[in-house]
């Protein structure tokens, strides 16, 4: 997959009529989404509408089963890859609820991950010294305490520290497609700015970002190219940044009503 | 284990060899075997072969006669199951045939050196790299002892027990059996009667041993029972760290291993004893493997003395082992740090005993059990506070990690407090390697196997940090090898 990636001309990610769920329950009900390199997409929607499910399905979480539709990433079928292979090919998920790994040191964890990813990209492993230097830089950039990373991954981290740590991991691993699942929730204003700065610095023509959020606030810092509204397993409306402002002002009811009255909503 | 009860252990045969065991090879060095079985003549033969003095013969015979009274009744209280062992179908003495003791490695049988190389512990390299003095035990007889000079200059005695019997009889007479008497338990009696060899170390007063003393044990001759005996004495104000690493070649029948280890720490002395045990665990169906019935005990005899056991146990079909500390001196400290891993049909019943006698004595127990496959892991620990032990403290933590749903973890703590000033703390947890943890690691590009290994290493971190660095690396590697195929 990676061998072809450089030559690939089409969209980075194409989700076509995706149906997915857990057990018998269907959560995504025909979802379409196209993401090109260089773009930032925001996905907004009420609680339980399927935003995290979308992120998890893209990252390959085993309990989610795809029942119909397809996901094309860099021109190839993404769904046949195991989660680690997807990560190696540049997909990164900043978890809504980061997982604790007792006894696993953050530094060791990130070194192992970066070694694997660099190897996949055909790059030399960083020496311990090179890695430590890089890691220190990124920690400083994220304005995190150097002590935090000597601790076990996420263990005993505050909610905000966990979120910030996800972005730290992102900027170290340098994925192509970053899925940020409510990374802004639970952050104080200063932390939000740090996280937004991290994301903005990361933003570029060879990357794409999908931000799942409930709040327009983060979009003041990270201006999205597209905003999508996800309701009941489908993207029901797409627009520019102004759509987020509109949602903030009016909530989701007006969109739901518009759908019920038969207005054409999909893009 | 679903083995039929009538089957005899030692004569059990399997047709196919389990080639998964990385260290399974057999060295073709001629063994000098005594006939199978045990009687007073065999004991006399052992004593004769080893040229031991009369008082050793008497001691061994007393042990043997005591053992005979036990009428082949092995201890039954542990949560382990195995077919009966035919104690008359075992070789009680095997020694590599050799003319004289080698003075250096060059004189060691090249095949033996090769065997060590296969174990991944080339003595040559170790000498250079790690500054470790190695006393290699091969089928119960010491082969090569290095760094003797450095140690001698400090007055440290580090040699085989056989040699100590000849050269330091006063120490042997005083301490052998002083912590684990031959009446202690079935296997300890048997060991006292027939032990072939083992390691002896004596650290004189005020000396801090500058090297990690190390011994590698291997069991080789098929059907050879292995009965080593280790005795370490830290005299007043001394310190020693001792490492014991074990691998056994793959065998078609189960092998009995019944060792005894005795540690004595006098006033202000400290002994740190670390073990890596990866004896052949048997194949995937639970056939073969080592029966490891070991008695390890330390006496923190002096004031402010300290004895610390650290063990990483991944091997053996059955492990029955409770490294213990008798906290006799006031302010003495006892520690037990353990990782016990069982996979396939392995069974481990292991733990510790902390017997508080002196005032202000303090013990710490951290036991981590990892169970995979059909493995059964039992932690069995006793903390006993005697009436004399004013202000004794104990902290116990038992964590179990389960991989899959066919394995088991059991925690059996016994607490006996006979002094009201005692402070006891006990924590226990059971966890699983969760799918969410695996997914989180894999989402960062880490393979499932590496993720599993990483999470398990994290679980063991508190124990690994007690091990010398190289040993910790090896321990981590052992866990990985032992769990291959346990994922998913
Ligand atoms: N593993 C699961 N098992 C059962 N139900 C699930 C699972 N994951 C998601 N669901 C259900 O699917 C629906 C969508 O969940 P999802 O987490 O994708 O919502 P969300 O849009 O991210 O919501 P929020 O804004 O609250 O984070 C919910 O009703 C949820 O209960
Ligand atoms: Mg969500």
Nearest CA distance, B452 vs chain A (angstrom):
11
Interface test with A, best of B397, B401, B437, B445 (most A CBs within 10 A): B445
Q: Give the residue, by CA position, lying nearest to ligand 1 atom 2.
A: A22
Is B350's pLDDT higher than 90?
A: no
Centre of ligand 2 from the C-alpha of residue B448, in Å: 25
Task: Look at residue B404 in the predicted model and tell me its pLDDT.
Answer: 80
Confidence of residue B147 (pLDDT cuts 50, 70, 90): low
Predicted TM-score (pTM) of the model is: 0.79
Q: What is the percentage of chain B residues whose pLDDT exceeds 70? A: 76
Q: Poorest-confidence range of A9-13, A69-73, B405-409?
A: B405-409
Q: Do B446 and A84 touch (CB under 8 A)?
A: yes
- Could you give the CA distance from residue A164 to residue B472 in angstroms, rounded to a whole number? 32
Task: Look at residue B110 in the predicted model and tell me its pLDDT.
Answer: 59
Confidence of residue B70 (pLDDT cuts 50, 70, 90): confident
Q: Do B437 and A99 touch (CB under 8 A)?
A: yes
- When CB atoms are compared, the residue of A84, A101, A108 closest to B437 is A101
pLDDT in tens, A26-36: 999 999 999 99
Is B49's pLDDT higher than 60?
A: yes
pLDDT in tens, B196-230: 878 899 999 999 998 778 765 544 444 445 788 99
Q: Give the residue, by CA position, lying nearest to ligand 1 atom 31.
A: A48
DSSP A123: P
Is B484's pLDDT higher than 90?
A: no
- When CB atoms are compared, the residue of A62, A87, A101 closest to B445 is A87
Q: Give the residue, by CA position, lying nearest to ligand 1 atom 7.
A: A22
CB within 8 Å of A145: residues ≥ 6 apart: none
Q: Give the residue, by CA position, lying nearest to ligand 1 atom 1.
A: A22
- Could you give the CA distance from residue B286 to residue B9 in angstroms, rounded to a whole number? 13
A157 touches chain B (CB under 8 A): no
Please name which of B456, B285, B295, B448 lies closest in space to residue B369, comparing C-alpha atoms. Answer: B456
Task: Look at residue B19 in the predicted model and tell me its pLDDT.
Answer: 39
Residue pairs spanning A and B at CB distance below 8 A: 78
**Strand pairing of B362-371 and B333-342?**
parallel
Please report, for chain B, the start and end positions of each structural domain, with discontinuous segments joined by +: 31-483
Neighbours of ion ligand 2 (CB under 5 A): A 51-52, 96
Instruction: Look up residue B83 and give its two tokens.
Output: 């077919």
Which of A28, A29, A48, when mutated, tests ligand 1's pocket best, judged by the most ligand atoms within 8 Å of its CB? Answer: A48
pLDDT in tens, B268-294: 999 999 988 877 777 777 777 788 888
Rounded mean pLDDT of B234-242?
96
- When CB atoms are compared, the residue of B440, B451, B455 closest to A95 is B440
Indicate whether residue A53 lines ligand 1 (CB < 6 A). yes
Print burial letters for B29-53: b (CB count within 10 Å at least 16), e (below 16).
bebeebeeebeeebbeebbeebebe
Q: Do B439 and A61 touch (CB under 8 A)?
A: yes
Indicate whether residue A49 lines ligand 1 (CB < 6 A). yes
Q: Say how many C-beta atoms besides its own lie within 10 A of residue B113's C-beta.
A: 17
Task: Look at residue B331 in the predicted model and tell me its pLDDT.
Answer: 97
Q: Do A87 and B441 touch (CB under 8 A)?
A: no
Query: In order of start, what are the domains of chain A with their CATH numbers?
Result: 3-260 (3.40.50.300)
Nearest CA distance, B343 vs chain A (angstrom):
22
Rounded mean pLDDT of A137-162?
89
Is B101's pLDDT higher than 70?
A: no
- Could you give the CA distance from residue A165 to residue A150 in angstroms, rounded to a whole number? 13
Q: Could you tell me if the ipTM is greater than 0.85?
A: yes
Instruction: Look up residue A210 and give its two tokens.
Output: 């999908």
- Could you give the CA distance from residue B323 to residue B314 in angstroms, rounded to a whole number? 16
Centre of ligand 2 from the C-alpha of residue B158, in Å: 63
Task: Look at residue B31 in the predicted model and tell me its pLDDT.
Answer: 53
CB within 8 Å of B431: residues ≥ 6 apart: B399, B400, B401, B402, B459
Is A120's pLDDT higher than 50?
A: yes
Task: Look at residue B106 in the predicted model and tell me its pLDDT.
Answer: 56
Rounded mean pLDDT of B310-329?
89
Task: Look at residue A173 in the predicted model and tell me its pLDDT.
Answer: 96
Tell me the chain A residues in contact with residue B442 when contact means C-beta distances shorter than 8 Å. 60, 82-84, 87
Rounded mean pLDDT of B433-447?
94
Centre of ligand 2 from the C-alpha of residue A185, in Å: 10
Indicate which atom in ligand 1 lies nearest the CA of residue A63. 1
Confidence of residue B9 (pLDDT cuts 50, 70, 90): very low
Q: Do A83 and B461 touch (CB under 8 A)?
A: no
């Amino acid at each position: 997959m990676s061998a072809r990636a450089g030559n690939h001309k089409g969209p980075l990610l194409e989700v076509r009529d995706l149906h997915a769920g857990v057990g018998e329950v269907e959560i995504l009900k025909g979802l379409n989404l196209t993401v090109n390199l260089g773009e930032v997409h925001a996905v907004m929607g009420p609680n339980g509408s399927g935003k995290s499910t979308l992120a998890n399905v893209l990252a390959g979480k085993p309990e989610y089963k795809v029942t119909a539709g397809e996901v094309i990433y860099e021109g190839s079928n993404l769904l046949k890859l195991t989660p680690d292979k997807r990560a190696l090919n540049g997909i990164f998920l900043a978890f809504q609820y980061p997982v604790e790994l007792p006894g696993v040191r953050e530094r060791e964890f990130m070194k192992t991950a970066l070694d694997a990813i660099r190897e996949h990209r055909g790059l030399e492993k960083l020496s311990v010294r090179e890695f430590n230097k890089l890691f220190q830089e990124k920690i400083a950039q994220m304005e995190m305490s150097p002590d935090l990373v000597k601790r076990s991954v996420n263990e005993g981290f505050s909610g905000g520290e966990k979120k910030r740590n996800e972005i730290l991991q992102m900027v170290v691993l340098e994925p192509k497609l970053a899925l940020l699942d409510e990374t802004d929730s639970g952050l104080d204003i200063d932390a939000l700015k740090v996280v937004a700065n991290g994301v903005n610095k990361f933003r570029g023509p060879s990357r794409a970002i999908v931000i799942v959020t409930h709040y327009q606030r983060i979009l003041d810092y990270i201006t999205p190219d597209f905003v999508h509204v996800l309701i009941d397993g489908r993207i029901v409306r797409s627009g520019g940044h102004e759509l987020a402002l509109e949602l903030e002002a009016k909530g989701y009811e007006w969109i739901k009503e518009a759908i019920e009255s038969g207005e054409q909503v999909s893009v | 284990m679903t083995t039929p009860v009538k089957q005899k252990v030692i004569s059990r045969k399997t047709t196919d060899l389990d080639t998964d065991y990385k260290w399974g090879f057999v060295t073709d060095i001629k063994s000098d075997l005594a006939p199978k079985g045990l009687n007073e003549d065999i004991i006399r033969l052992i004593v004769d072969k080893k040229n031991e003095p009369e008082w050793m013969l008497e001691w061994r015979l007393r042990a043997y006669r005591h053992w005979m009274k036990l009428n082949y009744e092995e201890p039954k209280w542990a949560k382990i199951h195995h077919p009966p062992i035919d104690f008359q179908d075992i070789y009680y003495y095997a020694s590599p045939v050799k003319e004289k003791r080698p003075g250096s490695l060059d004189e060691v049988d090249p095949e033996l050196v090769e065997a060590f190389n296969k174990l991944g512990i080339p003595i040559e390299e170790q000498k250079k790299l790690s500054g470790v003095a190695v006393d290699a035990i091969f089928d119960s007889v010491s082969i090569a002892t290095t760094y003797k000079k450095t140690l001698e200059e400090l007055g440290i005695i580090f040699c085989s027990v056989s040699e100590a019997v000849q050269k330091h009889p006063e120490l042997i007479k005083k301490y052998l059996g002083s912590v684990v008497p031959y009446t202690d338990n079935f296997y300890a009696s048997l060991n006292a009667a027939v032990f072939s060899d083992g390691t002896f170390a004596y650290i004189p007063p005020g000396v801090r041993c500058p090297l990690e003393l190390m011994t590698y044990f291997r069991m080789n001759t098929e059907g050879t029972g292995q009965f080593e005996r280790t005795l370490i004495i830290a005299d007043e104000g001394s310190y020693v760290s001792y490492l014991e690493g074990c691998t056994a070649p793959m065998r078609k029948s189960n092998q009995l291993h019944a060792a005894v280890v005795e540690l004595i720490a006098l006033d202000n002395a400290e002994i740190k004893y670390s073990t890596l045990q990866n004896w052949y665990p048997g194949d995937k169906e639970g056939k073969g493997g080592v029966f490891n019935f070991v008695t390890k005990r330390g006496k923190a005899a002096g004031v402010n003395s300290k004895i610390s056991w650290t063990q990483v146990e991944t091997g053996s079909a059955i492990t029955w082992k409770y490294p213990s500390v008798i906290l006799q001196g006031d302010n003495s400290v006892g520690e037990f740090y353990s990782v016990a891993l069982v996979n396939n049909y392995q069974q481990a019943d292991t733990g510790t005993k902390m017997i508080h006698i002196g005032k202000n004595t303090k013990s710490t127990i951290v036991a981590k059990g990892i169970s995979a496959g059909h493995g059964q892991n039992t932690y069995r620990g006793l903390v006993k506070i005697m009436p004399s032990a004013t202000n004794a403290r104990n902290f116990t933590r038992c964590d179990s990690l389960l991989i899959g749903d066919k394995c088991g973890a059991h925690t059996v703590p016994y607490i006996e407090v006979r002094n009201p000033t005692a402070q006891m703390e006990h924590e226990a947890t059971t966890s699983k390697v969760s799918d969410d943890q695996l997914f989180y690691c894999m989402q960062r590009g880490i393979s499932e196997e590496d993720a599993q290994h990483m999470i398990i290493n994290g679980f063991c971190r508190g124990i690994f940090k007690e091990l010398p660095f190289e040993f910790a690396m090896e321990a981590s590697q052992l866990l990985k090898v032992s769990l291959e195929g346990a994922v998913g």
